[in-house]
């Protein structure tokens, strides 16, 4: 088990490096390939009225004229040791971990990210609890009562659920429950949990339910399909034949095989959400990581986008790592393969 | 080994014994897997209705493309200022200005006809959905087959590559990429280069999903007897890959593609909703919802029809894909 953990950890670290390199290349290499000059890239860091010489000196100060690997090396060094950014007027120190410095709002990116993370984590974890409970529960009951009204109705709803974009259901929910009935807070309001837990939940209840509905639909479909397959297996017949009651057969033998596929997509889904529930946050105007990234793109603030993307990738890799380790706990065969 | 979806022809002659035994014209016929699947699909009413709906939508999208961009018969950006309340800037009348002339109502501020805009935006959604799917299925199949068939270091390399791709936060990445690439790149004009970009980004970053499926299928298929037989007859790798393996992968590829198209349509709508997809004033369903999100408090009807357009399209593809899977793989039922 120990060797397995070490192997996975090393793999995750290597993956993180590769992903950060590719991300970096996309931000600084792809624009060049698409035809932008270093001056084009630097022009977004200076005022619109700047002349060519000013833009060029900015490009040099930002290091855009250096080879890409040097720029990447500087960026990585900044994460561990902090970095200095020359804005022209003054030299600003960006303390470690430095995930870049925004020349538009004139502040380091990392404190912003830490600020926004709470919102995204609240949103993602809250929704995850709801969708796991409802999705897996509905899927299991549907599989056990296959062909009944409950099965047909819930699978119909689930299919509609996976076909509805969250920016449509979100808008509908805001129109009906928030604006029409006045039950919940309008979009854009968010209170920290530490300040007032009730207001925190009140602002998040609609996003939680909408996001959970969307995901629960997919989980219900997957759980039902896996459960149906499992309940036809020989070991289920054996369990029944040796006289176990149906409850034990379903819970101890049937559910166990559902766990593996659910765990896989749950890890992936949660990892993606933690890096910014972009659509949910944009629809409800919640100040999380995803909204931060979208706002940054609109204002052309690339260092911020780079920061969020790297943090998002890190979350996904960590989530996958946790899933891999849980696998080894659930299914001992994994450790030895 | 014949391809499962190939309609076999040689078996249509009447069987002499059957005729002698009084079975008349109802001779026993061999049916290929494709024929069996087609028969099952025909019996599945939901799948057939959604299939027909999809065909109608594709035709409508092509017509919309021709009318809007080639002949200029319809104008999705025509203003109808007379239908707008000058004080509130929202459509006059109930339900977002729905009338006989404008059955889906008009937009706030300038009164553009919503039906025309949904119609005009249809080809962009479908084109991106289909083309991005084609791209990712193409890359995924090639990579998956190669990884599964050759195994060894090739498999290790491709599998790690897929891990890297799967570790990217796809939506964040797409947002960032659309942001860093200049608007007029590749010289396709404004909408053209955006469409090209979106197809490339969506298609290129989602290939590992199908790649994994195809790799797993190939790994089990390559151990089967017909592959052994083909190899021992002296067939080279290209022959085994394309003539023996690939035909057996047609069913999963087909099912997966049908289910990937709606995902990609949603993806395009999401990017346009976030303001990084197709840019206004060009109409797409995502941009319309994006504009509607600013008006939901005073003109809630604005969002209904673009949202329904996305929902119905995606639902039709999902239903058809489900039916197709059941037809091709009866065990999945």
Max mean pLDDT range (A35-39, A192-196, B19-23, B62-66): B62-66
Are the Cβ atoms of B171 and A278 closer than 8 angstroms?
A: yes
Q: What is chain B's mean pLDDT, rounded? A: 80
- Among residues of chain B, what percentage have pLDDT more than 70? 82
pLDDT digits (tens, 9 = 90+) for B143-186: 999 998 888 899 989 988 888 888 777 888 788 777 666 666 55
- Nearest residue on chain A to B286, judged by CA atoms? A167
Among A156, A177, A265, A278, the strongest candidate for a mutation testing the B interface, having the largest count of B CBs within 10 A, is: A278
Give burial (CB, 10 Å; 0-12/13-18/19+) of B276: buried
Averaged pLDDT, B236-262: 87
Residue identified by tokens 């039922």 is B333
β-strands A91-94, A83-86: how paired? antiparallel
Give CA A244 to chain center in angstroms.
Answer: 41
**Residues in B touching A40 (Cβ below 8 Å):** 182
User: Using a CB-CB distance cutoff of 8 angstroms, which residues of chain B are in contact with residue A23?
Assistant: 168, 173
Percent of chain A with pLDDT over 70: 91
List, for residues B9-63, the tens digit of each pLDDT value. 444 444 444 444 544 555 677 777 778 888 888 888 888 999 999 999 999 888 8
Q: Which of A131-145, A163-177, A184-198, A228-242 has the lowest mean pLDDT?
A: A184-198
Closest CA to B276 of A241, A296, A288: A296
Determine which of A156-165, A236-245, A276-285, B30-39 has the lowest per-residue pLDDT on average.
B30-39
Q: What pLDDT was estimated at residue B19?
A: 44
Specify the pTM: 0.84
Distances (CA, A) of B54 to A146, A309, B51, B135: 29, 36, 5, 20
Name which of A232, A270, A323, A298 is nearest A121 in CA terms: A270
Three-state secondary structure readout of chain A: CHHHHHHHHHHHHHHHHHHHHHHHHHHHCHHHHCCCCHHHHHHCCCCCCCCHHHHHHHHHHHCCCCCHHHHHHHHHHHHHHCEEEECCCCEEEECCCCCCEECCCCEEHHHHHHHHHHHHHHHHHHHHHHHHHHHHHHHHHHHHCCCCHHHHHHHHHHHHHHHCCHHHHHHHHHHHHHHHCCCCCCCCCCCCCCCCHHHHHHHHHHHHHHHHHHHHHHHHHHHHHHHHHHHCCHHHHHHHHCCCCHHHHHHHHHHHHHHHHHHHHHHHHHHHHHCCCHHHHHHHCCCCHHHHHHHHHHCCCHHHHHHHHHHHHHHHHHHHHHHHHHHHHHCCHHHHC
- B259 to each of A79, A173, B55, B283, B315, how far by Cα in Å? 41, 27, 16, 25, 10
Asked if A26 lies within 8 A of B289 by C-beta distance, the reply is no
Residue B244 has pLDDT above 70, yes or no: yes
Residues 6 or more apart in contact with residue B23 via CB below 8 angstroms: none
Contact of B197 with chain A, judged by CB distance below 8 Å, is answered with: no
- Whether pLDDT at A54 is above 60: yes
The average confidence (pLDDT) of chain A is 82
Q: Report CB contact under 8 Å: B181, A31.
A: yes
Q: Residue B270: its chain A contacts at CB < 8 A? A: 165, 167, 278-279
Burial A179-199 (b: 16+ CB within 10 A, else e): beeeebbebeebbeeeeeeee
Q: Quick check: A160 pLDDT over 70?
A: yes
Rg (CA), chain A: 24
Touching check for B163 and chain A: CB below 8 Å? yes
Least confident piece of the model among A282-296, B22-36, B71-85, B207-221: B22-36
DSSP state of B281: T
Torsion of Cα atoms, A190 then A161 then A257 then A4, to 10° = -50
Enclosing H/E stretch for B118: helix B114-150
Scored b (16 or more CB within 10 A) or e, A123-154 reads bbebbbebbbebbbebbbbbbbeeeeeebeeb
Cβ contact B181–A272 (<8 Å):
no
pLDDT tens-digit profile of B301-310? 888 888 999 9
Using a CB-CB cut-off of 8 Å, the residues of chain A touching B185 are: 34-35
């Amino acid at each position: 088990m120990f060797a397995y953990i070490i192997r996975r950890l090393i793999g995750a670290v290597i993956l993180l490096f590769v992903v950060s390199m590719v991300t970096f290349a996309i931000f600084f290499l792809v624009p060049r390939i698409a035809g932008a000059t270093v001056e084009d890239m630097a022009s977004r860091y200076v005022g619109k009225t700047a002349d060519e010489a000013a833009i060029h000196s900015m490009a040099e100060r930002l290091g855009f004229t250096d080879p890409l690997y040097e720029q990447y090396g500087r960026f990585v060094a900044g994460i561990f040791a902090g970095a200095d950014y020359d804005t022209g007027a003054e030299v600003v120190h960006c303390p470690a971990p430095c995930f870049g410095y925004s020349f538009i709002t004139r502040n380091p990116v990392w404190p912003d990210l830490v600020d926004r993370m709470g919102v995204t984590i609240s949103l993602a974890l809250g929704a995850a609890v709801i969708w796991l409970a409802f999705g897996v529960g509905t899927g299991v009951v549907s599989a056990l009562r296959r062909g009944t009204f409950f099965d047909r109705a819930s699978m119909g709803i689930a299919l509609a659920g996976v076909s509805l974009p969250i920016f449509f259901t979100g808008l509908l929910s805001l129109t009906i429950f928030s604006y029409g009935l006045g039950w919940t807070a309008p979009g854009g309001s968010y209170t920290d949990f530490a300040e007032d837990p009730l207001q925190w939940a009140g602002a998040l209840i609609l996003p939680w339910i909408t996001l959970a509905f969307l995901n629960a639909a997919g989980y219900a479909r997957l759980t039902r399909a896996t459960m149906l397959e499992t309940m036809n297996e020989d070991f289920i017949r054996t369990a029944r034949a040796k006289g176990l009651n149906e409850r034990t057969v379903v819970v101890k033998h049937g559910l166990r095989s559902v766990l593996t596929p659910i765990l896989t997509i749950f890890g992936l889904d949660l990892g993606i959400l933690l890096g910014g529930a972009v659509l949910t946050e944009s629809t409800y105007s919640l100040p999380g990581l995803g909204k931060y990234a979208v706002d940054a793109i609109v204002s052309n603030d690339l260092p911020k986008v780079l920061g969020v993307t790297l943090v998002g990738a890190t979350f996904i890799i960590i989530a996958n790592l946790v899933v891999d380790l849980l696998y080894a706990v659930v299914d001992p065969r994994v450790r030895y393969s | 080994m014949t391809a499962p979806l190939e309609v076999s022809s040689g078996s249509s002659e009447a069987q002499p014994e059957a005729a002698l035994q009084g079975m008349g014209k109802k001779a026993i016929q061999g049916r290929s897997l494709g024929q069996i699947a087609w028969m099952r699909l025909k019996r599945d009413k939901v799948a057939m209705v959604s299939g027909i709906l999809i065909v109608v939508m594709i035709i409508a999208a092509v017509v919309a493309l021709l009318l809007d961009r080639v002949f200029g018969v319809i104008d999705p950006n025509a203003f109808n200022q007379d239908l707008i309340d000058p004080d509130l800037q929202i459509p006059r009348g109930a339900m977002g200005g729905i009338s006989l002339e404008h059955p889906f109502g008009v937009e706030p501020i300038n009164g553009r006809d919503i039906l025309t805009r949904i119609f005009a935006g249809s080809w962009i959604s479908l084109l991106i959905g289909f083309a991005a799917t084609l791209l990712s299925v193409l890359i995924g199949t090639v990579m998956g087959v190669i990884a599964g068939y050759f195994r060894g270091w090739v498999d290790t390399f491709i599998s790690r590559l897929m891990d890297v791709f799967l570790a990217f936060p796809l939506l964040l990445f797409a947002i960032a990429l659309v942001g860093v690439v200049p608007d007029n790149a590749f010289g396709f004009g404004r909408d053209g280069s955006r469409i090209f970009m979106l197809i490339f980004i969506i298609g290129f970053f989602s290939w590992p999903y199908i790649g994994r499926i195809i790799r797993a299928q190939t790994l089990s298929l390559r151990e089967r007897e017909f592959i052994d037989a083909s190899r021992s007859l002296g067939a080279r790798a290209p022959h085994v890959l394309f003539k023996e393996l690939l035909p057996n992968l047609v069913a999963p590829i087909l099912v997966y593609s049908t289910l990937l198209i709606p995902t990609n349509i949603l993806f395009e709508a999401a990017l346009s909703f976030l303001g990084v997809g197709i840019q206004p004033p060009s109409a797409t369903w995502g941009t319309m919802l994006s504009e509607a999100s600013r008006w939901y408090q005073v003109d809630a009807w604005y969002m209904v029809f673009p949202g329904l357009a996305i929902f119905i399209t995606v639902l039709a593809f999902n239903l058809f894909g489900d039916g197709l899977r059941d037809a091709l793989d009866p065990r999945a039922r």
